[in-house]
Amino acid sequence: TNNMNIAKSALALALASTTHAFSPAVTRAFSPATRSTVRTFIGSSRSNASSSATALNANVLRLTEPAKDLLPDVDVFIFDCDGVIWRGDSLIDGIPETLAKLRAMGKKMYFVTNNSTKSRAGYKKKFDSLGLDIPAEEIFSSSFAAAAYLEQTNFKESGKKVYVLGEVGIQEELDLIGVPHFGGPEDGDKVADMGPGCKVEHDPDVGAVVVGFDRYVNYYKIQYAQLCINENPGCQFIATNTDAVTHLTDAQEWAGNGSMVGAIKGCTGQEPIVVGKPSPLMIDYLCDKLGLDRGRICMVGDRLDTDILFGTDNGLKSLLVLSGVTTEDKLLSQENTITPDFYADSIVDFFIDENAKVEATA
């Protein structure tokens, strides 16, 4: 409860600041409580798999009439980035036009990514490079969320340091709040000496290890992180997210931060403090401070266990797009227990009615 209240304070402070973005809540990834609140339409009897699958399929609706079923009922769209706006470094077809149409309709938009490789400023540059003019205050990353959590728990006052198993996005956000850190890309080429009597010396003043996606993860980093967590009293294990896979390119799926977090969990036996989606506190802030009705907010993402769970757990509308990691077969399978209100091929389908009319007159 303490951490939750602190994180809520972080949110209000961060969004009021011109240099900070918004801080998602601290949440334990895939906790029993989270799992218990997942909305599902699968039949209660697991012995009848066929009827369960039928029940789920009957309640997952493909978006076919957005002008009637979606757009009139939504004031705010929260978009994931990877798999929704872009794949790797490639913009998904039709995105600029779709976002422009939503703005013209007066819709508010926020872009929230669990990818920690870039800071808020770094993501602003990525949007710019793809030709998308997105205001910085609409962009939020898990790298910032990690820094905001440390700031609001007064980590700097402890005099401790942060060891970063991750990339430059985390370091840039830590620099903004004046928290000392090391590791990250600088440790990318380090090799642990494992000869007789050798050991890795670690800094006893490390008070937190932040684990984010790291394309240059190595055994030295894993060893250093576990030494800090296992041997430094009170050292916190913080994960920016636990996504299983990510889109480094548009050609295939790549192992995500869940693989890095899993390595540290495996050698410490500890569960991390997870600061990325599916945190509820952004929704609490938007509703409480801006007077928004959470029933008129729609979470749009390509992942069931982060994006859609973020929506279903917090009373939002939710829409899954098939432009990212989740396939239609996976969504409609009897094993899936997370159900969005709608699904579509991409957010271009928000104007499928209008696009169909244009094609018909062409």
Q: Which residues are catalytic?
A: 75
Q: Is 172 helix (H, G, I), strand (E, B) or coil?
A: helix
Answer whether the bond into residue 278 is a cis peptide, omega within 30°: yes
Q: Is 57 exposed, middle or buried (0-12, 13-18, 19+ CB in 10 A)?
A: middle
Is 273 within 8 Å of 28 (Cβ atoms)?
A: yes
Residues 111, 80: Cα–Cα separation, whole Å: 6
Cβ neighbours, 10 Å, residue 333 = 13
What DSSP string describes 239-290?
ES---SEE-SSSSS-EE-HHHHHHHHHHHH--PPEE-SSS-SHHHHHHHHHH
Phi, psi of 299 (to 5 degrees): -90, 130
The H or E element spanning position 57 is helix 49-59
Residues 34, 43: Cα–Cα separation, whole Å: 20
Residues 261, 241: Cα–Cα separation, whole Å: 8
